[in-house]
Amino acid sequence: MINGPESRSYSGALPVSVIEVFKEWKCAKGAVAARFNGTLVDLHYKLTAGGFLEPVYIASEEGLEVLRHSASHLLAQAVKRLYPGTKLGIGPAIKDGFYYDLDVPQQISEEALLKIEQEMRRIVKENLPITRKVLTKEEAKALFAEKEEIYKLELIEELPDSEVSIYEQGEFLDLCRGPHVPSTSHIKHFKLLSLAGAYWRGDEKNKMLTRIYGTAFGTKEELEAYITRMEEAKRRDHRKLGKELDLFSIQPEGPGFPFFHPKGMVIINKLVDFWRKEHEKRGYCEIRTPLILDRDLWIRSGHWDHYRENMYFTEIDERPFAIKPMNCPGGILVYKSRIRSYRDLPLRMAELGTVHRHERSGVLHGLMRVRCFTQDDAHLYVTPDQIKEEILGIMDLVKYVYKDVFGFNYRVELSTKPEKAMGDPLMWEKAEKALEEALETAGVEFKVNPGDGAFYGPKIDFHLEDCIGRTWQCGTIQLDFQMPEKFDITYVGPDGEHHRPVMLHRTVFGSLERFLGILIEHYAGAFPFWLAPVQVKILPVRGEYNGYASEVFDKLKEKGFRVELDQREEKLGKKIRDAQMEKIPYMLVLGSKEAQEQTVAVRERQAGDLGSMTLDELVKLLEDKESPTA
């Protein structure tokens, strides 16, 4: 949308700055930038012609981005003051904050962040105007060469325009498109969060720079709430809990390739069992395709042109092969293995397919960003008139899994044609329209995400929200007219002629590994009963009750529950504390009373003491908890 709801036409005296117009219109308070004829500009921007103008407030998504981008410049200025000789890399606003990559002449520790923050606050008090200048590329190169800003010179060389913009605040200047807040005094509520190493431009062949992360908000209350969420996120970090609960590990012999331990595999297998049952109910058949396929297949599918930098390659019998980064081409070969009729459609083929993608070492992150993962993929082959109904069916499955089973809220985005798209633009328009119509029929609110579709088709993305407000993109529905053309797949219609099916690519979990990471953090390791690696722990008070404890253990195992028996010669209090630390849902305390009466004293992870029960009563209680929707 070019003009928003607060857009007004300006046709007054010229030239005039945006901020002067806003003061006249009495809408300057809280504004950090503006939109003029659809383009974001600074408040200092001079209007030389009339047009549509609207304020961008600090409370808006765009306003926060402007604030955070300005905060990244503030950070870089403070570092350059404290560490002379520092060279500037890049400093963008990102989701929930900002960072700056800097070539600092000495190593910076986490303790130095407070010192840098204090210098940033001094610069804020200086109330330095933040001003924009436009230079020719040659002028900009001369300016940054004089300052020995080697990374900026590299960026300028690659810019296609003949002119570039820079921003100045006091002695500090940076190559930047902007816009920015009017002065440093507008950046009041910020905090530096962490340090990391980052290769220049993400390339391992380049120098490792120092990346400093921070965040900024429009109000003190928003900042404090965010810091509280971050502290909670640290407590829930899946890498920390994964180690403590013995679920998985990442070994130096396999960077980016997770190792799942027995307890982690319990959760993975329960997720897979649940996935299989739900897909069987909804008319899916399951397939499995090879991990390695001929390189020509990937050339034909378009992955070679659009994705080969993320692929791994090998050679077999002097022929080039590729390890699959996606499952769709293999699934298409299954479709093509025999003639299909319109009576076969819709054909819903699901696959738990392991894929490998080359991710740079700097972006690897526990289970959230890995090089090997299993997608809960499905490819649906449909006639054109089945598209909407099948999309609605997938959306119903997504709602059931996210909301009904795991309790996640989620939002929906429609991602449209990317710059490097494959195929006929008219087919893209048709595909985008079909997805939009399905969303409207379902009555789902959605946001359009321009240019973020897959190279072969537009998509609907599902972003789930965890219990501390973070969002994760997991599920997706991609509508594809391109692959059926490239692979010449058909079905025989009622008229006896061959017709082209439409292909729907979709995932719900997305990646099993990443979904497990999200669940670990969402539940803080305290999984619901049906997913818990160990569901019940039996705690005999003393060794003399181990015999009865073993009987209870055997009966619960017979019923199919995941149970452990703690026969250590430890005090009961320690056994209970250890079971609590392991996030066990139920603990059974067995002493003389329980042994005599053939009962169990039940403790629940959160509720505490539930009192005495017979074994039959306990089994009934546990069986009621076994359902994913219990």
Q: Which pLDDT score is estimated for 1? A: 39
Q: Which pLDDT score is estimated for 428? A: 86
Are residues 55 and 22 in contact, defined by beta-carbon separation less than 8 angstroms?
yes
Residue-wise pLDDT for 45-75, tens only, equals: 999 999 999 999 999 999 999 999 999 999 9
d(CA 585, CA 210): 43
d(CA 279, CA 401): 11
Residue-wise pLDDT for 382-441, tens only, equals: 999 999 999 999 999 999 999 999 999 999 999 998 888 877 888 888 888 889 999 999
Are residues 106 and 81 in contact, defined by beta-carbon separation less than 8 angstroms?
no
Residue matched to tokens 């569901």: 535
Burial class (CB in 10 A: 0-12, 13-18, 19+), 190: buried
- Dihedral angle at the C-alpha atoms of 126, 127, 133, 139, nearest 10 degrees? 10
First to last CA, the chain: 44
Element (H, E) at 446: strand 446-449
Q: Which pLDDT score is estimated for 44? A: 93
Q: Which pLDDT score is estimated for 2? A: 47
d(CA 84, CA 571): 59
pLDDT band at 378 (very low <50, low <70, confident <90, very high): very high
- Dihedral angle at the C-alpha atoms of 246, 251, 256, 262, nearest 10 degrees? -30
Among 4-13, 161-170, 287-296, 543-552, the range scoring the smallest mean pLDDT is: 4-13
Q: What percentage of residues in the chain have a pLDDT greater than 70?
A: 99
Are residues 505 and 478 in contact, defined by beta-carbon separation less than 8 angstroms?
yes
d(CA 490, CA 381): 10
Are residues 427 and 373 in contact, defined by beta-carbon separation less than 8 angstroms?
no
Please state whether beta strands 259-260 and 248-249 pair in parallel, antiparallel, or not at all (unpaired). antiparallel
d(CA 351, CA 287): 5
Residues involved in catalysis: 328, 357, 375, 377, 379, 459, 505
How much is the mean pLDDT over the chain?
Answer: 94
Residue-wise pLDDT for 119-169, tens only, equals: 999 999 999 999 999 999 999 999 999 999 999 999 999 998 899 999 999
Going by C-alpha positions, the residue among 582, 577, 544 that lies closest to residue 563 is 582
d(CA 487, CA 501): 11
Element (H, E) at 195: strand 189-199
Are residues 520 and 241 in contact, defined by beta-carbon separation less than 8 angstroms?
yes
Are residues 433 and 458 in contact, defined by beta-carbon separation less than 8 angstroms?
no
Burial class (CB in 10 A: 0-12, 13-18, 19+), 467: middle
In this structure, which amino acid lies at residue 3? N
d(CA 447, CA 475): 15
Counted residue by residue, the chain has a size of 630
- Please give the backbone phi and psi of residue 328, each rounded to the nearest 5 degrees, phi first: -60, -45
Residue-wise pLDDT for 78-130, tens only, equals: 999 999 999 999 999 998 899 999 999 999 998 999 999 999 999 999 999 99
Q: What percentage of residues in the chain have a pLDDT greater than 90?
A: 85
- Please give the backbone phi and psi of residue 220, each rounded to the nearest 5 degrees, phi first: -65, -40
Q: Which pLDDT score is estimated for 7? A: 78
> Read out DSSP for 330-387?
HHHHHHTTS--BGGG-SEEEEEEEEEE----GGG-BTTTB-SEEEEEEEEEEE-GGGH
Alpha helices (H) along 423-545: 425-442, 482-486, 512-522
Residue 452 has pLDDT above 90, yes or no: no
Going by C-alpha positions, the residue among 455, 442, 509 that lies closest to residue 483 is 455
Which two three-digit tokens encode residue 476?
A: 């997706």
Q: What is the mean pLDDT of residues 562-566?
A: 97
Strand order in the sheet with 563-565: 563-565, 536-540, 586-590, 599-604, 608-614
CA Rg, the chain, in Å? 29
Helix (H, G, I), strand (E, B) or coil at 203: coil
Q: Which pLDDT score is estimated for 11? A: 86
d(CA 529, CA 241): 18
Residue-wise pLDDT for 334-343, tens only, equals: 999 999 999 9
d(CA 618, CA 538): 13
Q: Which pLDDT score is estimated for 4? A: 53
Element (H, E) at 267: helix 262-281
User: What is the b/e burial string over 486-505, where b = at least 16 CB atoms within 10 angstroms of the residue's CB?
Assistant: bbebbbeeeeeeeeebbbbb
Residue 5 has pLDDT above 80, yes or no: no
Q: What is the mean pLDDT of residues 25-41?
A: 92
pTM (predicted TM-score)? 0.82
Query: Which residues have a Cβ under 8 Å from the Cβ of 40 and sit 6 or more positions away?
Result: 33, 34, 56, 62, 66, 178, 179
Instruction: Give me the residues paired with residue 349 across strands.
Output: 285, 379
Whether the bond between 92 and the residue before it is cis, its omega within 30 degrees of 0, is no
Q: What is the mean pLDDT of residues 211-223?
A: 97
Q: What is the mean pLDDT of residues 245-265?
A: 96
Whether the bond between 346 and the residue before it is cis, its omega within 30 degrees of 0, is yes
Residue 540 has pLDDT above 50, yes or no: yes
Long-range contacts of 278-282 (CB under 8 A, 24+ apart): 278/397, 278/400, 278/401, 279/348, 279/350, 279/378, 282/348, 282/393, 282/397
Are residues 500 and 485 in contact, defined by beta-carbon separation less than 8 angstroms?
yes
Going by C-alpha positions, the residue among 558, 154, 487 that lies closest to residue 297 is 487
Q: How many CA atoms lie within 13 A of 142 on its CB side?
A: 5
Please state whether beta strands 347-356 and 285-286 pair in parallel, antiparallel, or not at all (unpaired). parallel
Residue-wise pLDDT for 472-531, tens only, equals: 889 999 998 888 999 999 999 999 999 999 999 999 999 999 999 999 999 999 999 999
Counts of helices then strands in the chain (DSSP H, E): 19, 34
